[in-house]
């Protein structure tokens, strides 16, 4: 009330404050960080360690378990999950909520450094990265060329392009994908080695001794300080071939006599295909404190500059741009804001026939939204899909705030008061109810501050966006609206005397008559309706599907393609190209905007890359496809592709994975929504129970892509050394191993050697290896020479070589092994899938001792989200109940107001069910919002009814009269909000189906809320308050309304 008086007495001050809010709000809107998701602060750290040539079992034994034992000294660790494949250990370290992650990473760094002592010689240090929303790529910078190889493109991308990318503020990149690092190859010929009676180890030793890295130093002669550079490192690559293999003899054998030297690349372990052609791309990510939209826009601005510094035949482009999602969300908010303001103005015009009043309402909405953005920035929040959803929902509340004030002013105009008096009385009359409404709506979203984990991170910015906009809107309705109403609204008290009833007056009179007749049967109507709505609500909640996020009909999809285990990358590449040809035939050749595939594994030099994209071996490929146009159902498209490829390419296995950034982040690295882990110390037992469970999962009709993703039967050639025979021939296991490294891998890690050169003077590895095309049979492997200066013994003389099957991957939870069963869901919600999975697990019977089964994937995220939201809603209801009881000094009145909540919930669930939507994070937000609006309308009506009851003593007439007075603002705000939310509910535009459940929940809740507030609430009030006392509960003897009040002076 003092706020209104201040505004009316100092109107210019109010306008200055509003202009200040607009100025700084617009400035903040330009500068605020724009991101896809809010800062998640996920307590997850990845540790990646590569060592080329080591088997999964070796990586597990030599690296994983050593790390686990060491990392357990870190404070706050919840679990350590690891995947081991050939040459790679990838560890995911999960921490408890609230752990100081800076300190945790520092401890991991220190302990990983300490672990180096226990690791195999030559092991490089690990790569450690914090996992948050910035860890996921927001696009790909693609390099194409018609003349250059992918290895040359790799070098160009790494050394020519990345320096320009680093200069872009907030941008971070992983190493390029698709090529192998430039390397000086020394390819030995086993036949020539045997002819010269040499072993591979002699070539390695000769290069190590004749191409060395050492400091040059200085010589001081007279007054001059001389540098003393030497040619201890060869100047030209060709000079490596001239290195002699023997010392102390004039007649020598040189490296070039038994090997070819070339400026090439590391052994290829993977390829990237862009539109079916070998290419290279860089994953673009952004720093955690940077704006996704700003980073992407600056990158696009820098592309011409980067292109100018590329060779003429290299073309670059930015693909799979994830910032489009946030851009579309910003556009949608702008459209909804304009639409909401215009529709509200239209409602004011329709119901009040006052264009000037409509203008006031229209002005308050953008001021509140812009001010909300200002305060979001001040509190360190970003503009993201959750805060945008909050601002979109806030528009509905803002409609209610302004409309109620303007409508009440018109009611006082109709009483024949002067303009200034009518505005003062109208604003003063609803000042306290509106303050109470604001507090109730804020209370609905208050539980966000108590939520933890992913739900808390997502809900907080939404609640803050609504809260800030709501507070500003309330202040404007108490200051800006009365000032503007005095300045621009027209009113002549004399015209009110000859006021003729309009169409709404006649409708209101008929409504009042209906309510009066219903009031006679209030007990039975209220009882039946409450019992019915509670029963329907419980039933609807049980049958409504539940998901973490709505399913999206995206134009993009991601699919993992698996050939037979052990398939070479060249063969897998051919299968992928065949897959692409079939895809073009299926969806239309011209309908594929771009396809991006990564085949095989990343080079061991780039240990960080598997964190972004993980493949188990050369037989796997991960494909991303963007279509130009797609208007169907993405689930149906995927199902059609499954059937199509089962017929066309039965030798491959496909599995679809999430491609939307929101899903990738929320799944925290899980590729499928359904994932079950069978863990225990005995891996064979884990595998056996995984296969049993997989059989059960395949019986569930709606499950798709059911599989054990782990590579369990990888082909191997087991080499068993006979140490006794080797010793008799003057050899030991070390001699044999050194020759095997050169033959089956390379000396990249076991014997570091460098050559400095190239246009940029960069140090490149020199590695000795046997070409893959030479070592192409078991016989060639057996004929590898082992002894120096002798053609015998060869490997076959001291070892047996047998075909076998090995684990291609090894999964660990701590030090305990586990096997996973995964599946996708087709047109079914995650909750139902979780229930059916649990039944499948139970059907296995009692598990043997030491075998554990745990459901992971998205199910734990769903449970955490739903439990947090449900408990949050209950807490909010309790807070509102107590707050209303304290305000009205009556628990009865508080209970009356809350009787609208079950109707709102039923309304939201009904429309969600009718439209095929699930109860998810977005629709839950809409439901909570509907509850807030419903309570706002109920408070407005009951506040009025209670005032009338206390003055007349008749609760029945008070309820009817309050409904008559408040029917117009309630219908106006409902119609405006429903109309404003309709585009969102329909899901217009790209990504519209991501937020459509939110709009549907709001619309359904509002429709039922309007019915309950206008029909049921007056009946409940009349029933419960009929015999309520009108005596104040005050105990203060100086309070005139108290029964203890005394006129006598002390």
DSSP-derived secondary structure for 564-621: STT--HHHHHHHHHHHHHHHHHHH-GGGEEEEEEEEE---TT-TTHHHHS--SSTTEE
pLDDT for the residue numbered 580: 93
- For β-strands 762-769 and 182-188, DSSP reports them as parallel
Same topology, domains 2-31+326-491+503-549+863-1025 and 35-134? Answer is: no
Query: Given this model, what pLDDT does residue 597 score?
Result: 92
For domain 35-134, the CATH architecture is 2-Layer Sandwich (3.30)
Q: Give the separation between CA 1018 and CA 956, rounded to whole angstroms.
A: 8
CA dihedral 539, 541, 545, 550 (to 10 degrees): 150
Q: Which residues pair with 1047 in a beta bridge?
A: none
pLDDT of residue 493: 66
Question: Contacts from 518-521 at CB under 8 Å and sequence distance 24+?
Answer: 518/1015, 518/1019, 519/956, 519/959, 519/960, 519/1018, 519/1019, 519/1022
The pairs formed by 528-537 with CB atoms below 8 angstroms and a separation of 24 or more are 529/1016, 530/899, 530/902, 533/902, 533/903, 533/906, 534/902, 536/906, 537/902, 537/905, 537/906, 537/909
- Identify any residues that bridge with 281 across adjacent strands, giving them in sequence order: 142, 177
Q: Would you state the pLDDT for residue 533?
A: 93
Q: What is the pLDDT at residue 630?
A: 80
- pLDDT at position 413, please? 83
Residue-wise pLDDT for 367-395, tens only, equals 888 999 999 999 888 888 788 878 877 87
- Which distant-in-sequence residues (6+ apart) come within 8 Å of 3 by Cβ? 431, 475, 478, 479
Could you tell me how many helices (H) and strands (E) the chain has, helices first? Answer: 36, 26
Q: Do 422 and 482 form a contact (C-beta atoms < 8 A)?
A: no
3-state helix, strand, coil in the chain (%, to 5): 55, 15, 30
Residues 925 and 998 sit within 8 Å (Cβ to Cβ): yes
C-alpha distances (whole Å) from 377 to each of 26, 328, 393, 439 are 11, 21, 19, 23
Q: Residue 1049: what pLDDT? A: 45
CB atoms within 10 A of CB 671: 21
Query: Nearest-CA neighbor of 823 among 664, 708, 958?
Result: 708
Any idea which residue has 């998701």 for tokens? 37
pLDDT of residue 550: 82
| CA 682 to chain CA mean position, Å | 35
Q: Does domain 2-31+326-491+503-549+863-1025 have CATH number 1.10.4190.10?
A: no
The answer to whether 645 and 654 are in contact (CB under 8 A) is yes
The token duo for 83 is 């995947």
Contact 55, 806 (CB under 8 A): yes
Task: Tell me if 603 sits within 8 A of 177, measured CB to CB.
Answer: no
Q: What is the mean pLDDT of each run of 10 residues along the chain (1050 residues)?
A: 84 92 90 81 86 87 90 89 91 88 89 86 84 72 87 85 86 82 88 86 89 87 89 88 85 89 85 88 81 86 90 87 74 68 71 78 85 91 82 75 79 83 87 84 78 77 88 88 87 59 79 89 90 93 87 84 92 93 88 90 80 88 88 86 92 89 71 90 90 93 92 90 89 86 79 78 86 84 83 87 90 91 91 92 89 89 84 84 86 90 93 90 85 86 87 87 86 80 71 78 91 91 82 73 64
From the list 132, 126, 99, the residue with the least C-alpha distance to 113 is 126
Sketch the domain layout of the chain as residue ranges.
2-31+326-491+503-549+863-1025, 35-134, 182-213+222-267+715-806
The pLDDT of residue 774:
82
At 499 the pLDDT is 53
d(CA 324, CA 554) in angstroms, rounded, equals: 12
Sequence-separated (6 or more) residues with CB below 8 Å from residue 402? 344, 360, 361, 364, 365, 473, 476, 477, 481
Best CATH choice for the domain 182-213+222-267+715-806 from the list 3.40.50.300, 3.40.50.1170, 3.30.2090.10, 3.40.50.720: 3.30.2090.10
Q: What token pair was written down for 183?
A: 């390397």
Give 417-422's long-range contacts (Cβ < 8 A, gap of 24+).
417/493, 418/491, 418/493, 419/485, 419/486, 419/489, 419/491, 420/8, 420/486, 422/491
Structure tokens at 26: 């617009």
Q: What is the DSSP string of 503-543?
A: HHHHHHHHHHHHHHHHHTTHHHHHHHHHHHHHHHHHHHHHH
d(CA 569, CA 562): 11
- H helices of 119-270, where? 150-156, 162-166, 190-195, 200-210, 255-258
Nearest to 41, CA basis, from 387, 453, 601, 422: 453
């Amino acid at each position: 009330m003092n706020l209104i008086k201040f505004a009316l007495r100092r109107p210019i001050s109010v306008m200055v404050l509003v202009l200040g809010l607009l100025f700084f709000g617009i400035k903040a809107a330009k500068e605020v960080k724009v991101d896809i998701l809010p800062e998640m602060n996920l307590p997850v750290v990845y540790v990646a360690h590569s060592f080329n040539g080591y088997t999964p079992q070796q990586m597990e034994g030599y690296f994983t378990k050593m790390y686990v034992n060491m990392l357990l000294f870190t404070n706050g660790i919840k679990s350590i999950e690891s995947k081991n494949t050939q040459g790679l250990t990838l560890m995911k370290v999960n921490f408890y909520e609230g752990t100081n992650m800076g300190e945790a990473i520092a401890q991991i760094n220190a302990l990983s450094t300490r672990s180096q002592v226990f690791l195999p010689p030559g092991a490089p240090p690990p790569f450690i990265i914090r996992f948050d929303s910035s860890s996921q790529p927001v696009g790909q910078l693609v390099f194409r060329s018609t003349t250059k190889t992918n290895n040359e493109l790799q070098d160009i991308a790494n050394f020519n392009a990345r320096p320009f990318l680093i200069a872009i503020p907030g941008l971070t990149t992983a190493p390029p994908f698709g090529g192998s690092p430039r390397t000086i190859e020394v390819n030995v010929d086993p036949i020539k080695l045997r002819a010269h009676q040499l072993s591979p180890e002699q070539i390695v030793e000769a290069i190590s001794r004749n191409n060395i890295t050492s400091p040059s130093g200085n010589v001081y002669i007279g007054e001059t300080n001389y540098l003393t550079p030497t040619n201890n490192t060869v100047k030209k690559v060709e000079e490596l071939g001239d290195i002699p293999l023997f010392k102390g003899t004039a007649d020598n054998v040189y490296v070039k006599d038994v090997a070819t030297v070339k400026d090439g690349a590391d052994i290829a372990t993977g390829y990237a295909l862009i539109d079916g052609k070998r290419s290279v791309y860089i994953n673009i990510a952004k720093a955690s404190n940077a704006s996704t939209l700003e980073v992407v826009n600056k990158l696009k601005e820098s592309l011409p500059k980067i292109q100018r510094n590329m060779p003429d035949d290299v073309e670059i482009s930015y693909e799979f741009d994830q910032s489009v999602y946030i851009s579309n969300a910003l556009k949608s908010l702008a459209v909804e804001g304009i639409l909401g303001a215009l529709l509200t103005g239209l409602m004011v015009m329709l119901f009040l026939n006052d264009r000037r009043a409509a203008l006031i309402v229209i002005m308050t909405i953008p001021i509140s939204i812009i001010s909300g953005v200002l305060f979001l920035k001040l509190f360190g929040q970003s503009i993201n899909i959750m805060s945008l959803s909050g601002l979109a929902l806030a528009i509905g509340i803002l409609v209610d705030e302004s409309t109620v004030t303007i409508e009440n002013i018109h009611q006082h105009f109709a009483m024949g008061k002067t303009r200034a008096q009518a505005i003062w009385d109208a604003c003063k009359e609803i000042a306290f109810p509106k303050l109470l409404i604001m507090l109730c709506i804020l209370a609905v979203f208050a539980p966000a501050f108590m939520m933890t984990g992913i739900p808390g991170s997502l809900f907080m910015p939404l609640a803050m966006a609504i809260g800030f906009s709501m507070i500003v809107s309330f202040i404007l309705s108490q200051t800006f609206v009365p000032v503007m109403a005095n300045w621009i609204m027209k009113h002549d008290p004399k015209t009110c005397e000859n006021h003729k009833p309009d169409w709404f007056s006649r409708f209101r009179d008929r409504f009042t008559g209906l309510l009066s007749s219903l009031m006679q049967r209030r007990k039975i109507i209220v009882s039946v309706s409450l019992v019915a709505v509670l029963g329907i609500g419980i039933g609807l909640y049980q049958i409504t599907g539940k998901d973490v996020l709505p399913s999206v009909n995206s134009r993009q999809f991601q699919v993992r393609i698996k050939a037979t285990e052990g398939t070479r990358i060249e063969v897998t590449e051919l299968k992928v190209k065949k897959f692409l040809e079939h895809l073009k035939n299926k969806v239309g050749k011209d309908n594929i905007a771009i396809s991006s595939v990564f085949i095989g594994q990343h080079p061991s030099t780039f240990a960080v890359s598997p964190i972004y994209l993980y493949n188990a071996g050369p037989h796997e490929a991960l494909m991303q496809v963007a279509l130009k146009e797609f208007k169907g159902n993405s689930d149906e498209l995927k199902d059609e592709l499954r059937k199509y490829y089962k017929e066309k390419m039965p030798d491959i296995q496909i599995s679809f994975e999430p491609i939307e950034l929101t899903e990738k982040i929320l799944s925290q690295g899980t590729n499928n929504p359904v994932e079950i882990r069978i863990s225990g110390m005995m891996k064979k037992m884990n595998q056996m129970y995984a296969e049993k469970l997989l059989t059960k999962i395949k019986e569930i009709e709606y499950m798709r892509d059911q599989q054990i993703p782990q590579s369990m039967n990888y082909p191997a050639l087991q080499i068993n050394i006979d140490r006794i025979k080797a010793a008799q021939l003057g050899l030991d296991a070390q001699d044999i191993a050194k020759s095997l490294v050169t033959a089956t891998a390379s000396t990249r890690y076991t014997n570091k050697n460098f050559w400095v050169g190239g246009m940029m003077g960069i140090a490149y590895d020199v590695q000795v290896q046997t070409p893959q095309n030479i070592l192409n049979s078991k016989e060639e492997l057996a004929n590898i020479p082992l002894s120096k200066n002798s053609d015998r013994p060869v490997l076959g003389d001291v070892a047996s070589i047998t075909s076998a099957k090995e684990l291609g991957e090894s999964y660990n939870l701590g030090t305990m092994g586990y096997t996973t069963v995964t599946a996708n869901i087709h047109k079914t919600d995650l909750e139902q899938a979780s229930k059916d999975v649990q039944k499948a697990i139970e059907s296995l019977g009692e598990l043997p001792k030491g075998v554990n089964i745990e459901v992971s994937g998205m199910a734990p995220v769903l449970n955490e989200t739903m439990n947090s939201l449900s408990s949050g809603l209950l807490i909010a209801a309790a807070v509102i109940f107590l707050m209303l009881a304290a305000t009205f000094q009556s628990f009865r009145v508080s209970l009356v107001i809350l009787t609208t909540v079950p109707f709102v919930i039923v309304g939201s669930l009904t429309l969600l069910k009718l439209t095929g939507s699930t109860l998810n994070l977005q629709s839950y937000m809409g439901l909570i919002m509907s509850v807030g609006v419903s309570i706002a309308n109920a408070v407005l009506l009951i506040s009025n009814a209670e005032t009338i009851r206390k003055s007349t003593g008749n609760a029945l007439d008070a309820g009817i009269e309050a409904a008559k007075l408040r029917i117009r603002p309630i219908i106006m705000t409902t119609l405006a909000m429903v109309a404003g939310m309709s585009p969102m509910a329909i899901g217009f535009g790209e990504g519209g189906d991501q937020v459509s459940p939110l709009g549907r929940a709001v619309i359904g809740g509002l429709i039922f809320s309007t019915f309950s507030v206008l029909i049921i609430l007056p009946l409940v009030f009349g029933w419960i308050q009929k015999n309520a006392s009108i005596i104040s509960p005050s105990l203060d003897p100086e309070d005139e309304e108290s029964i203890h009040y005394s006129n006598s002076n002390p």
